[in-house]
Chains A and B, each alone.
Chain A
């Protein structure tokens, strides 16, 4: 198994090359901007669920505190004064949603990952500027080289094994 890193000068060329490259092995793109991607993400659901759970727990905590934990009669006012519990429930919900979103982002992407073998390729330095890079882990090295030439890759770099 060898890994090749190739860079393309434009998004269009990379996108055009991808279908041909995929059968060769494991293909990953490294791009300065997001590529068009139809696949959905689980994060909105994570954020929604965390937000709702946070808000319900926050509300429940206030109900518990005022009705069971430390009920106190203030001039006969109701203990279950739910409108007064809404702001804190909302804030706790938002806090859980944002934290869950951020942590969820790290988890689904297996971050932080400070080192990755593809970092050895000098081409990767351009992937966060204006180069559209792709890495291919493949057994068929020669075919990959030929294909990349045909697909008009700017540069190709072979990772040291």
Chain B
């Protein structure tokens, strides 16, 4: 494996690729490792459902939130997940626009990651509402009270942003899937699979008119998705920056959050493609080139994030506001200091290993760095939410926050749900976008 590998190893060709990739989805029986791998995520997902039901029964008091830290795990995890989700859209839309060929073999898994990441993220704000059964009050629907939502609040912007993002991601994912579903329909070994994939393919047959509109539309949607994902994450940043809260009220937040989205998204994609290429024998289509490019992107976004941390410190001390400095000192040396330094270690220092080409190609180290970054990004969200809130302006309002078992169960539950979703994707749909791979592969067997 070298950084100069082609995007598909020599000798790769379209019929072999199509047979191999569609064969994975059309297998009569699941892989042994797949059955084992689903057990824990399924259990965690059940835990998620259980803890949500208990939350509906008992209310948000079962969580660790209280004054002054009224935003706890729900918001931390929400921001963490939506950042992971955004990374997938960057890869599939942004690098489609730059015509990067390496994207073709990993965009399906990146988009699937977006889908399930956004689903995990979307759960949290609703749970966090306190009275989740009133979530539809966020919609501007005609009501007998003659009331409207508060359109000037970033929290409502966020509702619209997430709604748009989830819907558009599903559409983009599904549109990108249509030609491959048609391939599965035509290669289905059983009548049942033929019917299911046939219905899902909506009758895509690759006619001249279908392809013509398809190509144009896919390009247009990619051009819309790329700015959309930036807007979504900026608005998430504004959820914080819009409030005059110590530590949050900063113009830096929207780009800062986008940097974090890049970082955690790329790390998660790496963490998914490294085992996938081995377990599904995709080494031919996910090569050293992909690992190298993703490693470089991870390193670059880590430098962006490091810059943001430095500016965060600089602005605080240069700004000279007492409450801000108190909070920041607390962040560096206080009760939660360990989490702040873990953030710096995992997000800024650890990825510096990726300067070395040999490390970028070492799958084990890259996977560990990626896990480190994902944990580090969670710590960053924890610092932003909890540390800022626990030192408000009035010393009499200082307080601490500790998560409860229900916080942890809900969080691990969404992790399980995410992994479960990805495993379902691996089992049921082509993990590589076959029709896009055809553009870069030899058309016939040599």
Contact = CB atoms under 8 A, between A and B. Distances in A.
| Bound together | yes
Interface of A: 9-11, 28-35, 37, 39-41, 43-44, 47, 51, 61-62, 65-66, 69-70, 81, 84-85, 87-88, 90-92, 94-95, 97-99, 101-102, 104-106, 108-109, 111-116, 118, 124-130
Contacts of B160: 87-88, 91-92
A127 B205 contact: yes
Contact of A111 (B14, B171, B202, B444): B202
B114 to A, nearest CB: 14
Given A11-B443, A98-B168, A84 B151 contact: yes
A11 B14 CA distance: 13
Given A99-B167, A130-B18, A32 B206 contact: yes
Contacts of B18: 32, 129-130
B237 to A, nearest CB: 12
B401 interface: no
Q: Chain A CB within 10 Å — which of B171, B206, B444 has the most?
A: B206
A128 to B, nearest CB: 4
A129 B148 contact: no
A94 B227 CA distance: 10
Interface in B206-258: 206-217, 220-221, 224, 228, 231, 235, 238
A102 B171 contact: yes
B243 to A, nearest CB: 14
B388 to A, nearest CB: 23
B217 A94 contact: no
Given A11-B443, A34-B212, A130-B14, 15 more contacts: A41-B217, A43-B217, A61-B140, A84-B152, A87-B161, A91-B157, A95-B163, A101-B217, A106-B202, A108-B209, A108-B213, A113-B203, A124-B186, A125-B186, A130-B443
Contacts of B151: 62, 65-66, 84-85, 88
Interface residues of B, number: 59
Interface in B1-33: 14-15, 18-19
Contact of B187 (A29, A61, A104, A125): A125
A16 B208 CA distance: 15
Interface stretch (B175-183, B293-301, B347-355): B175-183
B311 to A, nearest CB: 24
Contact of A98 (B172, B186, B202, B210): B172
B200 to A, nearest CB: 10
Contact of A128 (B148, B161, B179, B221): B179
Contact of A97 (B15, B152, B224, B231): B224
A153 to B, nearest CB: 16
17 contacts: A29-B208, A31-B211, A34-B214, A35-B208, A41-B216, A44-B216, A44-B220, A70-B147, A91-B160, A97-B224, A99-B167, A101-B217, A108-B209, A111-B210, A115-B203, A125-B187, A129-B14
B164 interface: yes
Nearest to B18: A129
Contacts of B217: 41, 43-44, 47, 101-102, 104-105
A87 B164 CA distance: 12
Contacts of B161: 87, 91
